[in-house]
Amino acid sequence: MLEVRNLCKHYGGVKAVDGASFTVEKGSITALIGPNGAGKTTAFNCISRTATPSGGEVWLDGERIDNLRPHKITAKGLSRTFQISRNLSDMTVIENVIVQSKVHGFGGLFRPAMSRDEKDKAMSILDFLGITRIAFEDGHNLSYGQKKLMDLAALLMSDPKVILLDEPAGGVNPSLMEEIVDRIRALNEKGMTVLIVEHNMDLIMRLSHKVVVMAQGRVICTGTPDIVRKDAQVLDAYLGGVLEEEEA
């Protein structure tokens, strides 16, 4: 469903992403992990075209997309969240969700700001995520975790084929984190393809079908969670201390 080929992003002499290649299979949950500065979020930015790659290619469902603008990539079926919520704080939750609706071209100028179909669809997504109770709350009144769920709802409004989640559980309390995990798993069971960046290793190992490990801008290991846990390069670069502590 998603293929990254020799992706590069350089800032002067700094190679934030340095020839990274990996695939995300249709219907899978794939995790992209690595230590701070490994290039994970930069890779996300290049895939979604919020940053311009210095080299390499990105293919979505057999079509090259790294030369497209971000809104065109979204229209092709790839949407993402960000580490820090980018909600419009002076708008309600349902308005923040509806603003992510598919563009209807010139004819959209003559449509209501929020059509009945869009309202119904947004409420259905909020119900799926268990947050209909905050549908009419202003964005600035939400907790950090609620903002994360609103971002996920807004992402789903565009009917994506692949979703990129950048630390969806970061900074969220444990009970709400489990709700987010359950919703991601439920989306995947409905056929959604997921690529996720997350520092919570317990969450990643429980949730993912495949793990891609980056270090210093490069992919150093790819495999199932069990394979990655035992890989010598991964243990040395990132997971060693964490796993030793867990096993102890």
pLDDT tens, position by position, for the chain (248 residues)? 999 999 999 998 899 999 999 999 999 999 999 888 899 999 999 999 999 999 999 999 999 999 999 989 999 999 999 887 777 777 899 998 998 776 554 445 445 556 778 899 999 999 999 999 999 988 888 888 888 899 999 999 989 999 999 988 877 888 888 888 999 999 999 999 999 998 888 888 899 999 999 999 999 999 999 999 888 888 887 655 444 444 44
pLDDT value, residue 111: 55
Going along the chain from its start, the domains and CATH numbers come out as 2-86+160-247 (3.40.50.300)
3-state secondary structure the chain: CEEEEEEEEEECCEEEEEEEEEEECCCCEEEEECCCCCCHHHHHHHHHCCCCCCEEEEEECCEECCCCCHHHHHHHCEEECCCCCCCCCCCEHHHHHHCCCCCCHHHHHHCCCCCHHHHHHHHHHHHHCCCHHHCCCEHHHCCHHHHHHHHHHHHHCCCCCEEEEECCCCCCCHHHHHHHHHHHHHHHHCCCEEEEECCCHHHHHHHCCEEEEEECCEEEEEECHHHHHHCHHHHHHHHHHHHHHHHC
pLDDT (0 to 100) of residue 243: 43
Q: What is the pLDDT of residue 105?
A: 47
Q: What is the pLDDT of residue 238?
A: 62
pLDDT of residue 141: 86
- Which pLDDT value is given to residue 102? 61
pLDDT at 113: 59
pLDDT on residue 246: 44
